[in-house]
Homo-oligomer: A and B are copies of this chain.
């Protein structure tokens, strides 16, 4: 075992993991529309200017800006209509002095023109001439060639997670296939002699497996590919056999249930026997979630998550989710502040031990326009407490609790 087993802080646990995590990535190509939510494997550069020409952002008239200088409602400028821009076509001809071409939003600016007067600020005298009632500056109501993105610029950087607007950007530069980082495959095992599958009827003393299902959802929700490997008995040999296969088939493994320091806790010993460096820590100073095992078997992270459903989800969120999201295990040092972005007024006093980070399940509601957080009471063994909650409130290690009315940081589910 590589480390002493004192309870680490979240920051220390992240640091230990980061030290051992690999920086490999597996790249694959997917069609543009399938790349949503995936991580870019490489910088994507624009091969050409977007747009490829100066473009009107308004319906109106393309003009030489200087011909409009001083124009107002009381003293409009006069212009001859000498052409019309057809959408999708290059205008044939040039806008001369005192001339105006009809143009629609998105039309290509004809040569000679350097601005567009909005139709609202023109008055058609007849089919051949207009009055302009407001001056325009050069470039006004025009998107310049390459203004959206210029040839050679990085449109999106490697490791960027592709959002809807990014699909639009990629489309605009003609990218129809995207190199993405292959999502992390996460094997999920529940351990416990008392567990049965959801389709089974539990006998007295038995309960249905909860954690495999919450973890399956949590892995999928942060962009991983969950693989459910079933329930394993609290037995060295059985766990060893299953774990060997699951480690081989996945990039990461989540065990839950076997991490209590109880009589039947075999997870730590088995994980540690699977390969170097083995178990890195056993216990983190948070509530809920203390009895957590963090390990590396070769280049694969293996976590022993607490058996209590709420605890398992809190630990998942703190240590596992960032790994799955990052693609290259690169964001473990991320500021927790950004992970708990809401500010809410806590409505009850809460106790917390100094030196321990607390994660409180809360209901969120509005009172007179202020966001309030009401702690959900109940043990961390109850999945109902997570179901009733809208998010987690964070109490830093330095605090010994919060008083009703204090502002806390909250992460919404």
Chain A residues close to B by CB (< 8 Å): 32-33, 36-37, 50-53, 55, 57, 59, 85-91, 102, 104-108, 119, 143, 147-149, 155-156, 162-176, 192-195, 198-218, 220-221, 228, 234, 257, 260-264, 307-309, 313, 335, 337-338, 341-343, 366, 369, 371, 378-379, 381-384, 386-387, 412-413
Contacts and interface: CB of A to CB of B under 8 A. Distances in A.
B53 A204 contact: yes
Nearest to A361: B165
Nearest to A200: B174
11 contacts: A36-B216, A36-B217, A52-B202, A55-B207, A59-B261, A88-B203, A88-B205, A90-B203, A147-B378, A172-B383, A173-B208
**5 tightest CB-CB pairs across the interface, nearest first?**
A164-B217, A59-B262, A168-B214, A165-B386, A87-B193
Contacts of A216: 33, 36, 164, 167
A165 B207 contact: no
A387 B342 contact: no
Contacts of A341: 341-342, 371, 412
B168 A89 contact: no
* Assembly stoichiometry (copies): 2
Nearest to A108: B205
| Residue among A88, A107, A343 with the highest chain B CB neighbour number at 10 A | A88
Given A104-B264, A164-B221, A171-B208, 5 more contacts: A59-B262, A88-B195, A163-B413, A171-B212, A338-B366
Contacts of A104: 260, 262-264
A81 to B, nearest CB: 13
A89 to B, nearest CB: 5
| Residue among A143, A205, A387 with the highest chain B CB neighbour number at 10 A | A205
